[in-house]
Structure 1
Amino acid sequence: MSSAVVNGMAGAGGGIIAQIITYPLQTVNTRQQTERVAKKDAAPAYGSTLAQIVQVIRSEGLGGLYSGLKPSLLGTAASQGVYYSFYQYFKNKAEAIAVDNKRKGRGDGSPGMLSWLIVAALAGSFNVLLTNPIWVLVTRMQTHTQAERKIMEAKREALLKEASENVLIHSSLPDQFAALDSMKPRPYGTIQAACEVYDESGITGFWKGIIPTLIMASVCNPSIQFMIYESLLKHLRSKRSSTKQGLKNITALEIFLVGALAKLGATVSTYPLLVVKSRLQAKQEIGGNVSLRYSGTLDAIVKMIRYEGLRSFYKGMSTKIVQSVFAASLLFMVKEELVKAYAVVTDRRSKILLRAAK
């Protein structure tokens, strides 16, 4: 089995484990990002991360924190599998080029930062183009209840406006409000989400947010992340090789910490693009005001600045830092351990076959 396939499968396994553990934080973060709050409003509709987790459990049950988990796990497995397969493939090419350059008297035989940037960008581009439809559905499912709540609020406001102009309607307000309050969010699964996306925008709707996603997920975020990650690993290996023990193996804890630092730097740098992507992929009925609905990336950026201010680009960033850093650290650690385990199993099997041949 090639190293690209092994790393792809290990990345998928690590991604699934990290996703299951950190998914509630991801759900809360997506809702924070997509909540529209005009400048004139004193405070956002949601409080702290913990307060919102409690609110979701009270109103939707524990299952509300795991809304969209099934397609998300599929997306994670596909995304990480595709990403790490292409990443390892291009990484092998970059390392081969570096070794060839060393023979020609150029470089030290290892890829530089620019090479890691290019490798990560190429792998990310393939990943985004192939898996974006899955993440559109996940975002819809995570924000469905929030969207339904906004629609109900808009209906209540419309009733109050009509009642102020019509006495007959005013007298029936209690009954109408009671009917609205008794309505519960419609059942919403993967099929319903897919049909809704198609009805709204056709087949192109499954690639909503592709521009900020490509910029963030295929260029900026992974490039920064893997540049930091590979540079730190190279430094650790170099430091180990210079010691008397000559140990070059990196421990699981060190992988965890290196992955955390790499993801922290990438998340802080690219968070505004992540918010724009989530806004575009969420159901556009969120917020009754047409001025807070977006037709594209540029329209979203302009309207967010105009109606909500620059702080809207950093909504829920603290939640995202905790979720993404912890998830990335777990992913890196589990992936590397799975790759090591595969190497050990392969080595043992080779030895057994060699003995049997003798």
Structure 2
Amino acid sequence: MSDALINGLAGAGGGIIAQLITYPLQTVNTRQQTERDPKKTRRKVGALEQMCQVVKQEGWERLYGGLTPSLVGTAASQGVYYYFYQIFRSRAEVTALDRWRKGVGDGSVGMLSSLVVAALAGCVNVLLTNPIWVVVTRMQTHTKMTTKPRPSHNLSTVPDEAILAVVETPPYGTSHAVQEVYDEAGVWGFWKGVFPTLIMVSNPSIQFMLYETLLKKLKGRRTTSKKGNDGVTALEIFLLGAVAKLGATVVTYPVLVVKARLQAKQVTGGDKMLHYKGTLDAIMKMINHEGFSGFYKGMSTKIVQSVFAAAILFMVKEELVKGARMLVTRNASLIKVARSKPP
């Protein structure tokens, strides 16, 4: 099994576990990002309070709206990303060694090279998996509507219970979201928000650059210490992943909000401020109607969710990679021993 495949599978596994743990926060954050009603945004509602409101008004299941396609998207995204990241990283390491043999550099992959490697892997990931995330965004932002029945006879003859009763709209599943996107913009609708998403490649790029740099420094300190052990614990990986994601999220959050606005259901009638024709149109309308604060809606929730998810992902992924490599090495040793024995 190649190292790229091991990293790809480990990344997919880590991403799924992180997604399952932090998904309710992600749902609430997406709703905060796409909220455009000035009356609702004036009152600051915390993530926990909003989660309670969703549960009370729509039920527990709405906190996990779009979970199935999200898990598919997470597995695909993390798998694709780590697979291509390892391929590009290996090539960068070979190039760095060749340069070192020629007397240039120290033989290690520098910060700029790490940034380019992460960006290339991110671009491949975005182009392949954007349709999944468009569907996930639709399902996360869909709210369970309730309507009062309209009796055909005089209200005075209708029992109070009938007047107060509510009728829920039909269930909204993956197929409904897919059909909705297709009806709005055809096949290209599934690549809505791809431009700001490509810009968002800088998020994992910055994240991995910080992570690799911090990890390299930590291992360097361990190697130069008296013990000479460059091993890193799962807790240290967790903390390094959290710090790296925090830095990346703070820098790129406004682009994430624009992407969510474009991928959410567009209002074709009524107030024009609720309908975005493209990335530039969304940016200008947000500035005009909401000010620059609109680009940071739900940022505190996102920081908690993304930092926690990234920390879990890095920790689980590294442990899975270690386990897989040990298993591959063990199997290779057993095969070698078996072949060395005389028939």
Paired letter, 2:132: I
Which of 55, 70, 74 is the equivalent residue of 2:68?
Answer: 70
Which is richer in helix?
1
What whole-Å deviation, never above 9, does each CA across 1:161-208 have from its counterpart, x for those lacking one?
xxxxxxxxxx98xx9xx8897242331111110000000011110000
Task: Using structure 1 for the length normalisation, give the TM-score.
Answer: 0.88
Q: Gaps (5+ residues) in structure 1?
A: 156-170
CA gap 1:190/1:244 in 2 versus in 1, 3 angstroms: same
Correspondence for 2:173: 189
The alpha carbon displacement at 1:83 in A equals 0.3
Matched, 1:203 2:201: no
**Does the 8 Å contact 2:257/2:296 carry over to 1?**
yes
Q: Gaps (5+ residues) in structure 2?
A: 149-153
Runs of 4+ in 1 over 3 A off after TM superposition: 41-46, 178-181
CA distance in 1, matches of 2:27, 2:269: 19
RMSD: 2.1
SS at match of 1:145: coil
The alpha carbon displacement at 1:288 in A equals 4.9
Correspondence for 1:2: 2
**Does the 8 Å contact 2:14/2:314 carry over to 1?**
yes
Matched, 1:215 2:199: yes
Matched, 1:308 2:290: yes
SS at match of 1:47: coil
CA distance in 2, matches of 1:276, 1:33: 8
**Count of paired positions:** 330
**Does the 8 Å contact 1:36/1:287 carry over to 2?**
no
The alpha carbon displacement at 1:290 in A equals 2.0
What whole-Å deviation, never above 9, does each CA across 1:86-107 have from its counterpart, x for those lacking one?
0000000001000110000000
Matched, 1:330 2:312: yes
CA distance in 2, matches of 1:134, 1:76: 9
CA distance in 2, matches of 1:76, 1:180: 42
CA gap 1:131/1:245 in 2 versus in 1, 3 angstroms: same
Correspondence for 1:29: 29
Correspondence for 1:271: 253
Correspondence for 2:17: 17
What whole-Å deviation, never above 9, does each CA across 1:257-301 have from its counterpart, x for those lacking one?
000000000000000000000000001139952222101000000
SS at match of 2:142: helix
CA distance in 2, matches of 1:283, 1:181: 28
Identity %: 64
CA distance in 2, matches of 1:190, 1:231: 40
**Does the 8 Å contact 1:32/1:46 carry over to 2?**
no
What whole-Å deviation, never above 9, does each CA across 1:212-253 have from its counterpart, x for those lacking one?
00001x2x1011101100100110111111012111111111
Which of 100, 121, 130 is the equivalent residue of 2:98?
Answer: 100
**Does the 8 Å contact 1:292/1:307 carry over to 2?**
no
Correspondence for 1:246: 228
**Does the 8 Å contact 2:267/2:274 carry over to 1?**
no
CA distance in 2, matches of 1:355, 1:198: 58
Matched, 1:131 2:129: yes
CA distance in 2, matches of 1:4, 1:110: 19
Task: Using structure 2 for the length normalisation, give the TM-score.
Answer: 0.92
Paired letter, 2:12: A
Which of 36, 46, 49 is the equivalent residue of 1:51?
Answer: 49
